[in-house]
Amino acid sequence: MARLNLLEETRYEKLPVTVYSDQNAASVAVAKRIADLIRKKAEAGEQAILGLATGVTPIKVYNELVRLHKEEGLSFKNVITFNLDEYYPMKPDAVQSYVTFMNENLFDHIDIDKSLVHIPDGTLPQDEVAAFCLEYERQIEELGGLDLQILGIGRTGHIGFNEPGSAPNSGTRLVTLDDLTRRDASRDFGGKQNVPAKAITMGVGTIFKAREIILMAWSAKKAPIVRKAVEGEISGEVPATFLQLSDSVEFVLDVDAASDLTRFDTPWLVKDCVWEPMLIKKAVIWLSGEVGKPILKLTEEDYNSNGMAQLAVEQGPVYQINIDIFNQLQHTITGWPGGKPGADDSQRPERAEPARKRSIVFSPHPDDDVISMGGTFIRLVDQGHDVHVAYQTSGNTAVWDDDVLRFVEFAIDFKNSVGEDSSKMQGIYEDMRQFMAVKQPNQIDSPEIRDVKGFIRKTEAIAGARYAGVPDSNIHFQALPFYETGKTQKNSVGEEDIRLTMELLQNVKPQQVFTAGDFADPHGTHIVCFNIIIESLRRLRKTEDWVNDCWVWMYRGAWQEFPTYEIEMAVPLSPAEVLRKRNAIFKHQSQKDRPVFPGDDAREFWVRAEDRNRETAQNYDRLGMAEYAAMEAFVRYKF
C-alpha cells in the first residue's frame, strides 16, 4: 500500500527522484555512493571510471570525498576520471578554468594519479578540437565506459554544456554557449563580456552510456528547470529531459530544488493531504488563480473539479473556508509596519506597543534597504519610530572602474581648488590608471581602488538613508570581514562578523529587525548576512532579555517576492510613496542604468522593485482585497 501511495504521489515524475532535507545531507549521500563504488572496484582489482562535473553544485560532494580520504582512508589510486566540459578557449591555470576548479576542490587533496585525470583541453587550436573530442570518446570507450557520471543542471536545462538544441545521440564536441549560461557565469569572469562564447563538452549520448547517472540540484533557483526536466515532455529545448529515456538515472535534490514538483507544490493533486492552516491557505489561493475568481466567489464545484474535494469534505462548507482565508489575507495588510499605537493588535501583523519602536533595517549591500523595502523604511521614520540602518557589506566589488577615476579626478580638482597639494593623490591616480589598463577579468583591485569603490557606495547609502529621514547617528557601516576579499568569491563567516553584529544589536536593543530573506541562492551575500544576524540574536538571547521582545521581519529583493500565501505583513504604498521610494533608489547612482552585476534581468533595479511591488498589490486585488498602487511584503522569522 505504501508503494502504491508513493507511485500516486510521483505519477507526474518521469524518472526517479530522491529528495534530501538540505544539500549537505544530499552531498554526503552522493559522496558515499561514489566511495562505495571506488572501494568495490578496488576489492575486485578494478579501476573505477568516474565522470565528474564542476560548478557550485558538486563542491560539497568533493569536500566529503576529501574528508573520506583524509579521515577514513578512502584511496583514489584505482580511479580514472573524465570531466564533463571546459570553457573554450581557456588556459588551465586561469582562475575560471575547470582544471583549476578540480585541483582546488578535489585532486590536490587526494592520492589520485594525475596522469589518470582527463579534462577537455581549452588551449587547442580550433582545427584540432574535433580530433581531440574523438580521442576523448575513444579513451572512455577503451576503458569500458563510465561507471558513474555526476551532473548538475543549468537554468537552460543543459547537462554538461549541452545547450538547448543538442541531440540525444551527441558526442564530445565544441559547442556555443547559450546567452543565459554566459550570464550565469558572468560573476566568475567579471562580466558577461569576458565569458567564453564556446566550450568543449561531453555529449548527451556520451553521458547516456554511463552505467549510473546522478544529477544533483540545490536551491529554489533550480526548481523551475528541475520540474521541466522531471515532469516535462522530452524536448531538445530542455536537454536534461533526455535523461527520462535512461534506466540508470536518478535526480538527487534538496527540498528547495524539489519545491516546484507537483507532489510538493500542489500535493492535493496527487494525494490526500493533512490540511494544516498554511497548506489550506496555499491551496485556496492557488484555486483562486486556477479558476480566475476572487476567493469569496469560489464554489464547491471549483474545489471538487480541481483536486480539492478532500479539503471541502474535511474542512467545509467551502464558503466558510473562503471567508477564513479571506480574513487571514485581509489581516496581513497594514499601513503601520511598526504597529498602530493604541489599536487592538490582535488581528494586526505587528504589536501596538511600544508605540515608538527601535527598528534596525539590515541591508546586505548598500542599496538593498531602499530597493527592497524603501516605502516601509520611509513610513517607519514618518511614523516616529527610532529607525537605524546597518549596511552589512561595503559592496565594493560592484562599482565600475570608470566611476573610480571620475571620483578621484574630482578629489584632485577639489584639493587644487582650495590650494592643497594634490601631488600624492595624482600619483595614486596614475597608478590606478596603469593598473586598470592591464587589469584582467575578475582580477582583484588594488587596495586604493577597493577603498574608493567602497567610499562611492557608502556616500550613496548615506544619501539614500538621509532621504528616508534617518539621522546620521543611526546610519551604521559594518564592513563585515567575510565580504572584504576584493573578489566575488567571499570568505567563510568568522567570529568577527558575529561579534560586530552582536555589538550593534546590543547597542540598539531593537524591537524590530528587518533583514533580507532571499534564499534562492544559498551562496549569495543575502543568505550569509541573514545567518549572521540570526546567529547573533540566538547568542544574545542567552543573556539579554530584550531579545525575547525582538521580532525579525524578512524582506525580499528586486528579483523575487514571497508567494502570497507566505506573506504575513503587506504594507500598501500610495502612488506618492512609490515615487519617494524611487527617489531613494536613485541616490545609488553607481547601480543605476547598468550595474556591474545586473543578473539576468535587463530592467533597472528601481523598475524591478516597482514592478514587483505592483504585482504584489495586483495579486491581493485578484484575490478580492482592496486595490492598492503597490505593496511591500514581509514574513516574520521566528528564531
Report the C-alpha gap between 485 and 393 in whole angstroms: 11
Say if residues 358 and 384 touch (Cβ distance below 8 Å).
no
Say if residues 356 and 387 touch (Cβ distance below 8 Å).
no
Report the C-alpha gap between 206 and 91 in whole angstroms: 25
422 by DSSP, 3-state: which?
Answer: coil
Report the C-alpha gap between 64 and 32 in whole angstroms: 8
Say if residues 311 and 271 touch (Cβ distance below 8 Å).
no
Element (H, E) at 605: helix 605-622
3-state secondary structure 471-531: CHHHEEECCCHHHCCCCCCCCCCCHHHHHHHHHHHHHHCCCEEEEECCCCCCCCHHHHHHH
Say if residues 12 and 266 touch (Cβ distance below 8 Å).
no
Exposure pattern of 113-151 as b/e (b: 16+ CB <10 Å)? Answer: eeebbbbbbbebeeeebeeebeebbeebeeeeebbbbbb
Report the C-alpha gap between 354 and 346 in whole angstroms: 15
Percentages helix, strand, coil for the chain (3-state, rounded to 5) are: 50, 15, 40
DSSP class of residue 310 equals H
Say if residues 137 and 172 touch (Cβ distance below 8 Å).
yes
Report the C-alpha gap between 453 and 366 in whole angstroms: 12
Q: Quick check: is 163 catalytic? A: yes
Helices (runs of H) and strands (runs of E) counted in the chain: 22, 17
DSSP class of residue 532 equals H
> Residue 50: which residues within 8 A CB-CB, separation 6 or more?
34, 79, 80, 81, 82, 146, 147, 148, 149, 150
Report the C-alpha gap between 17 and 36 in whole angstroms: 20
Say if residues 593 and 604 touch (Cβ distance below 8 Å).
yes
- C-alpha 165: how far from its chain's center? 27
- Name the residue type at position 547: V
* Beta-strand relationship, 630-637 and 512-516: unpaired
- Name the residue type at position 511: Q
Strand partners, 201: 85, 173
User: Which of 13, 86, 137, 163 does the annotation list as catalytic?
Assistant: 163
Query: N- to C-terminal Cα distance for the chain?
Result: 39
553 by DSSP, 3-state: which?
Answer: strand
209 by DSSP, 3-state: which?
Answer: coil
Say if residues 158 and 181 touch (Cβ distance below 8 Å).
yes
Report the C-alpha gap between 256 and 241 in whole angstroms: 20
- Cα 574 to Cα 342, 382, 421, 578, distances in angstroms: 24, 14, 51, 6
> Residue 169: which residues within 8 A CB-CB, separation 6 or more?
203, 204, 205
Q: How many CA atoms lie within 13 A of 448 on its CB side?
A: 16
Residue 74 CB neighbours (<10 A): 22
Active-site amino acid positions: 163
